[in-house]
């Protein structure tokens, strides 16, 4: 069997991306997209060339979080007849390099729920990898859908990931699912796997005390148990939610606890 043209294009393009990093979570709502966006921005702040692929069909909001609104995506036609989309870029003050962004959200009308069959979702994600003019990148960051679904499996079989970052909250239930996501990445042979704990604690705005809302140290214990790295804890930061609603990643607000946490995580990662 030969490789189909789309898969071949992905294989050709991935040679131009130094590190391919997937961001996953066992379940939704733990801050997976927030972590993906802030890691990307922290890397761009440090001068790396970063591409972000928003592959979360259920809530494709990475583009908005990066300040890129849904826009007409331009495409270029190639001699063999295939088209390649030009990824929109963001360029915030505080970033050294602009970030290239592609999203499932660009491909569907904003008010339409995406009710695609799994195989169509897989095809769409593959197109966002292989039919986009990404060019050469230091980091390609993929925000996967939550859970351990088929699409993740297929994409991970096509693309050779260098790292998988699993995002969890310290809560017990999230952790059970997190274990599954870690094991999926192990089974796929991803060489570097690490856990990031989000919404770890809250700094009381009045007294400055640390409050462990959801228990303590769960993410780190899980990482230990699974024998993977623990990259760090991100506190609940009221400004983080406000910032992401405004399309500005919190890591650009230097003096916040969340920004400091994300910069530390990136230092550990690279």
237, 251, 259, 269: which one binds ligand ADP (CB under 6 A): 237
Residue with smaller CB distance to ligand ADP, 95 or 256: 256
Question: β-strands 210-211, 229-236: how paired?
Answer: unpaired
Binding residues among 41-60 for ligand ADP as defined by CB under 6 A: 59
Residue with smaller CB distance to ligand ADP, 49 or 256: 256
Which residues does 213 contact at the CB level (< 8 Å), separation at least 6?
199, 201, 202, 236
Long-range pairs for 253-262 at CB < 8 Å and ≥24 separation?
Answer: 254/94, 257/203, 258/38, 258/234, 261/232, 261/233, 261/234, 261/235, 262/35, 262/38, 262/39, 262/42, 262/234
Least Å from the CB of residue 33 to ligand ADP: 3
Least Å from the CB of residue 212 to ligand ADP: 14
Instruction: Select from 29-37, 47-55, 112-120, 181-189 the region that touches ligand ADP (CB under 6 A).
Output: 29-37
CA dist 194 and 165 (Å) reads 5
9, 32, 100, 233: which one binds ligand ADP (CB under 6 A): 32
Instruction: Select from 70-78, 129-137, 225-233, 234-242 the region that touches ligand ADP (CB under 6 A).
Output: 234-242
Binding residues among 58-97 for ligand ADP as defined by CB under 6 A: 59
CA dist 136 and 50 (Å) reads 9
Residue with smaller CB distance to ligand ADP, 84 or 168: 168
Least Å from the CB of residue 19 to ligand ADP: 21
Instruction: Select from 40-48, 128-136, 171-179, 230-238 the region that touches ligand ADP (CB under 6 A).
Output: 230-238
Least Å from the CB of residue 159 to ligand ADP: 20
Residue with smaller CB distance to ligand ADP, 85 or 231: 231
9, 33, 95, 141: which one binds ligand ADP (CB under 6 A): 33
Chain residues that interact with ligand ADP, rule: CB under 6 A: 25, 28-34, 59, 198-199, 234, 236-237, 240-241, 244, 258
């Amino acid at each position: 069997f030969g490789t189909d043209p789309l898969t071949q294009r992905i294989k050709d393009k991935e040679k131009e991306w130094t590190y391919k990093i997937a961001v996953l979570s066992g379940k939704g709502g733990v801050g997976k997209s927030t972590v993906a966006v802030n890691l990307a921005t922290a890397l761009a702040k440090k001068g790396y060339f970063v591409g972000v692929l928003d592959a979360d069909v259920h809530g494709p909001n990475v583009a908005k979080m990066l300040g890129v609104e849904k826009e007409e995506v331009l495409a270029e036609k190639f001699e063999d007849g295939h088209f390649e989309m030009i990824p929109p870029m963001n360029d915030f003050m505080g970033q050294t390099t602009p970030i290239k962004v592609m999203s499932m959200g660009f491909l569907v009308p904003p008010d339409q729920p995406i009710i695609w069959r799994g195989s169509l979702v897989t095809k769409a994600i593959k197109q966002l990898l292989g039919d986009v003019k990404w060019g050469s990148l230091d980091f390609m960051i993929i925000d996967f859908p939550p859970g351990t679904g088929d699409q993740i499996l297929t994409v991970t079989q096509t693309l050779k990931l260098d790292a998988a970052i699993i995002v969890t909250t310290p809560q017990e239930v999230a952790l059970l699912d997190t274990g599954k996501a870690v094991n999926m990445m192990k089974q796929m042979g991803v060489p570097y796997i690490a856990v990031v704990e989000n919404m770890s604690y809250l700094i009381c705005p009045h007294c400055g005390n640390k409050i462990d809302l959801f228990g303590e140290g769960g993410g780190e214990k899980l990482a230990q148990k699974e024998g993977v790295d623990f990259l760090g804890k991100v506190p609940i930061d009221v400004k983080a939610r406000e910032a992401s609603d405004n399309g500005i990643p919190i890591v650009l607000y230097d003096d916040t606890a969340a920004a400091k946490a994300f910069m530390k995580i990136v230092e550990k990662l690279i």
